[in-house]
Amino acid sequence: MSMSMMPLSTDACATAIGELDITSLPLETRFPPFRLRQYGGFWLLEKFLQGVPAVHSIFEPRPSDVLLASFPKCGTTWLKALAFATRNRAEHPLRGLDHPLRRRNPHDIVQYLELQYAQSMGHVVAALPSPRVLSTHLPYSLLPGRITAEESGCRIVYICRDPKDAFVSSWFFTKKTVAAAAARARTGEEPPPYTFEEAFELFCDGICVSGPLWRHVLGYWEASRRQPEKVLFLRYEEMLRNPESNVKKLAEFMGCAFSVQEEATGVVQDIVELCSLESLKNMDVNKSGSHGPLAHESFFRKGVPGDWSNHITPAMAERLDKIVEDALQGSGFTFDVREASA
Ligand code: PAP
């Protein structure tokens, strides 16, 4: 049985999380600079996994919370910027020169829940004023029931992307991150200790941060079908094609729909503009500085659909498409936006 088809027991994971001994979990070190541990059918960043028990036992969701969930390199940074700007537009006027997005990287504004708890920063999460915008790379099956239960009231927004583009994006991101670490250690611009082809093999085997991608996506997609008022499922490509209607959808879902007057005065366009790749990429704060070991500028590259075709051979693309298609068979979900209903 391939890993992507392995059955997954959410209850079994949840029960075990309290007694989680991370050092006893399967370890994957072929993906430097990231150390991955396998848990609940996913390869998770060891550093993030350390915070998962506390997310389950200590984190208290509020009905007004919005949790942004994503597989890495699928549009997280953009979604963080859009959701924050939309939710806080009254407090932070979009054209204001001191808007938080002009001073801070989106990842410093909307933090990863599990990373905060891993770094003993749970008190910071607890002290955030409502409404909070939080984020996670955790799969749906590893979220605490206190978040996923209908009665918790908090909402989840998920963003997905063509796996081929997510893979290519992660390759460039990893290359930059490894080079930056080498520069810090003054060992020069070192390439990742594996080739593009080796990284592709690992990705196809589901061995990458939060992998396998298709299982991650499926968990949230199924949840969005079961609980459409609770889980909003977005597609990166669709958002690029029509950012304004997706921002409106996002605002409605978060319970802060735009008024007629806001729409007439161009508030939606202001949000789209402020959060565009060009705008964020060119802000001083994102040209320098770092989020932990990750340089701010490494989160912004091309931001286009289909860049995979410049890097992946047709044979590789066909292989990955087939793996994904097989894994998704019978689910009703497809990455092909022409066929998709979500
Ligand atoms: P993360 O999961 O590590 O936070 P994430 O933000 O999901 O990464 O993905 C980065 C991708 O989003 C990059 O795609 P690319 O490598 O194919 O170019 C990045 O360029 C793109 N991106 C970042 N910010 C924006 C934005 N404001 N609008 C559109 N795309 C963006």
Identify the pLDDT of residue 14. 46
| Distance, CA of 307 to CA of 162 (rounded, Å) | 10
On whether residue 46 sits in a domain, the answer given is no
Q: How far apart are CA 298 and CA 8, in angstroms?
A: 33
The CATH number of whichever domain residue 325 belongs to comes to 3.40.50.300
Q: Is the whole model's pTM more than 0.75, yes or no?
A: yes
Q: Whose CA is closest to atom 27 on ligand 1?
A: 277
**Token couple for 4:** 């992507």
Catalytic residue among 137, 216, 291, 296: 137
- Cα separation, 297 vs 313, in Å, equals 27
Residue with the smallest CA separation from ligand 1 atom 14 is 303
C-alpha 308 to ligand 1 mean position (Å): 14
198 vs 191: CA distance, rounded Å: 13
Instruction: Count CA atoms within 13 Å of residue 293 on its CB side.
Output: 17
Going by C-alpha positions, the residue among 279, 267, 245 that lies closest to residue 86 is 267
What's the domain count of the chain? 1
Residue 152 lies in a domain: yes
What pLDDT is attached to residue 338?
63
* The pLDDT of residue 340: 58
> Residue 125 falls within a domain, yes or no?
yes
At 292, list the tokens: 């932990």
Q: Say how many Å lie between the CA of residue 207 and the centre of ligand 1.
A: 20
Contact 94, 82 (CB under 8 A): no
Question: 34 CB less than 6 Å from ligand 1?
Answer: no
Rounded Cα distance between 143 and 55, Å, is 8
Write out the H or E segment, with its range, that includes residue 302: none
Mutate to test the pocket of ligand 1, among 48, 76, 77 (most ligand atoms within 8 A of CB): 77
The rounded distance, in Å, linking the Cα atoms of 15 and 23 is 18
Assess whether the C-beta atom of 280 lies below 6 angstroms from ligand 1.
yes
- Got the DSSP string for 210-271? TB-HHHHHHHHHHHHHH-TTTEEEEEHHHHHH-HHHHHHHHHHHTT-PPPHHHHHTTHHHHH
Round to whole Å and give the CA distance between 77 and 113. Answer: 15
Q: Three-state SS for 63?
A: coil
Q: Exposed (0-12), middle (13-18) or buried (19+): which is 292, by Cβ within 10 Å?
A: exposed
Is there a domain that residue 18 lies in? no
- Considering the domain boundaries, does residue 98 fall inside one? yes
pLDDT tens string 16-46: 787 789 999 999 998 888 899 999 999 999 9
Helix (H, G, I), strand (E, B) or coil at 7: coil
Residue 313 lies in a domain: yes
Question: Which residue ranges of the chain lie beneath pLDDT 70?
Answer: 1-15, 189, 337-342
Q: Are 188 and 171 in contact (CB under 8 A)?
A: no
184-192 contacts, C-beta under 8 A, 24 or more apart: 192/32
pLDDT of residue 342: 46
C-alpha 299 to ligand 1 mean position (Å): 6
Tens of pLDDT along 271-316? Answer: 999 999 999 999 999 999 888 778 899 999 999 999 999 999 999 9
Distance between CA atoms of residues 272 and 259, nearest Å: 16
State the closest ligand 1 atom to the C-alpha of 74, by its place in the atom list counted from 1: 7
Ligand 1 pocket check for 302: Cβ under 6 Å: yes
Residue 291 in domain: yes
Whether residue 106 has its Cβ less than 6 Å from ligand 1: no
Is residue 45 domain-resident?
Answer: no
User: Is the CB of 86 inside a 6 Å radius of any atom of ligand 1?
Assistant: no
Confirm whether 137 is a catalytic residue. Answer: yes
Which of left, alpha, beta for 292 (phi over 0: left; psi -120 to 50: alpha)?
A: left
Domain span including residue 201 = 63-341
